[in-house]
Amino acid sequence: DTEVTQTPKHLVMGMTNKKSLKCEQHMGHRAMYWYKQKAKKPPELMFVYSYEKLSINESVPSRFSPECPNSSLLNLHLHALQPEDSALYLCASSLATGGQGVAEAFFGQGTRLTVV
Amino acid sequence: SQQGEEDPQALSIQEGENATMNCSYKTSINNLQWYRQNSGRGLVHLILIRSNEREKHSGRLRVTLDTSKKSSSLLITASRAADTASYFCATAAVDGTASKLTFGTGTRLQVTL
Partners of A4 on chain B (C-beta within 8 Å) are: 42
Partners of B100 on chain A (C-beta within 8 Å) are: 33, 45, 48, 56, 102
Model confidence at A100: pLDDT above 80: no
Q: Could you read off the pLDDT of B27-48 as tens digits, one per residue?
A: 889 899 999 999 878 999 999 9
* For chain A, counts of helices (H) and of strands (E): 0, 11
HEC-encoded secondary structure of B18-67? CEEEEEEECCCCCEEEEEEECCCCCEEEEEEEECCCCEEEECCEEEEEEC
What DSSP state is assigned to residue B104? -
Q: Measured between CA atoms, how close is B43 to chain A, in angstroms?
A: 6
Q: Which residues contact B21 (CB under 8 A, 6 or more apart)?
A: B6, B7, B8, B11, B73, B74, B87, B89, B107, B109
Q: Determine the pLDDT at residue B98.
A: 74
Do B19 and B76 meet the contact criterion of CB atoms below 8 Å apart? yes
Q: How far apart are CA A47 and CA A86, in angstroms?
A: 17
Q: Could you read off the pLDDT of A10-30 as tens digits, one per residue?
A: 999 999 999 999 999 999 999
Model confidence at B1: pLDDT above 60: no
Q: Determine the pLDDT at residue B41.
A: 85
C-alpha pair distances (Å), B5 with each of A25, A111, B25, B91:
30, 26, 6, 11
Do B13 and A79 meet the contact criterion of CB atoms below 8 Å apart? no
Model confidence at B77: pLDDT above 70: yes
Q: Determine the pLDDT at residue A102.
A: 77
Q: Is A102 on the interface with B (CB under 8 A)?
A: yes
Nearest to B33 among A99, A104, A110 (CB): A104
When pLDDT is averaged across residues B64-85 and rounded to a whole number, the result is 97
pLDDT, mean over chain B: 93
Size of interface A-B (CB pairs under 8 A): 87
Do B6 and B105 meet the contact criterion of CB atoms below 8 Å apart? yes
Q: Determine the pLDDT at residue A96.
A: 75
| Nearest residue of chain B to residue A38 (CA atoms) | B40
Q: Is B72 on the interface with A (CB under 8 A)?
A: no
When pLDDT is averaged across residues A47-76 and rounded to a whole number, the result is 95
pLDDT, mean over chain A: 94
Q: Determine the pLDDT at residue B89.
A: 97
What does residue B73 show for φ and ψ, rounded to 5 degrees?
-135, 150
Using alpha carbons, select from A105, A107, A106, A110 the residue that is nearest to residue A88.
A110
